[in-house]
Amino acid sequence: MRFALLGLVAAASAQPEVATLDRLEQILRRQEHLRLSGTRVVYLRVNGVMRTVTELVIRDGMRSRTEFPNDPIRKGMIILEDGRHRLEYIPQLNELRRGPSNRDQTLQQLRRMIQAARNGQIRFRHFDGGSVADRPTVAFEVSDAAGNVARRLWFDGATGLLLKSQLLGRGGALMGGFEFRRVTYNVEIEPRQFRFERKGVRVVDEVAGVDVLWALRPTWLPDGFEPTGEGMRSVAGRRVAFLHFSDGTHHITIFQSPEARLGE
């Protein structure tokens, strides 16, 4: 009888999280149907200092255009996404970086997190997120098996748009994220806004992941540093591998090419 009661208690405690994960999956399936324009503030920790960058966002399904009206470094920069590719124009270099879509990677990451929660590796908790950009939200908190909160997500309760995201470090410190300050749905959008048509721009191809034998990985990193990204780039006809590492405050990037000379 005691074991039967314990089983009922365990099943009852598991049901709310299952319902939470099902609801989150439903929200993710709605991403391809969003059409909007809005203003978003991104939080970035640079050299230990939290900085903000304002973005103007236009989105139609999996396509989007992002511009940076006020940032002194990113002003004139344009990022285009079509669900498969990402184009990033750097005006200071007159360079167009072309690589795989980040939006698809973000959705895949969230789906992997949901699967990890179903396997008991991490936990999702639903909480009252209040209002973001004057929109009622559906909010989720992600934590590891020990209860350490790693991420918080706020979705528009009516549309499913991710309105706010926080990435938390050790001890709950805010490491980065973003928040919409204004959003308008079902706006008129011209298809040309998702095309980049400018002559004389150098195109640099970037590919996620490093799949070459000559790229060496460090055998030692300073305490707290972990891999945060890697990829391949074609520069002047040469293949270049790059590896990113970070401890949340400081960053290291290693570039490697078998054909480059010292100083290049």
pLDDT in tens, 173-194: 888 899 999 999 999 999 999 9
DSSP 222: -
| The predicted structure's pLDDT at residue 263 | 59
pLDDT in tens, 143-181: 988 888 989 999 999 999 999 999 888 778 888 899 999
| pTM across the whole model | 0.74
CA 20 to chain centre: 21
Closest Cα to residue 18, out of 115, 139, 106, 95?
Answer: 115
Residue 244: CB atoms within 10 Å: 14
Q: Where are the beta strands (DSSP E) in 61-201?
A: 63-67, 78-81, 85-90, 95-100, 122-127, 131-132, 135-144, 149-156, 162-168, 174-185
Please give the single-letter amino acid code of residue 42.
Answer: V
CA distances for 190 relative to 37, 85, 209, angstroms: 12, 19, 33
Q: Does 256 have pLDDT greater than 70?
A: yes
DSSP 90: E
Closest Cα to residue 203, out of 96, 104, 114?
Answer: 96
Are 163 and 182 in contact by the 8 Å Cβ rule? The answer is no
* Confidence at 249, pLDDT banded by 50, 70, 90: low
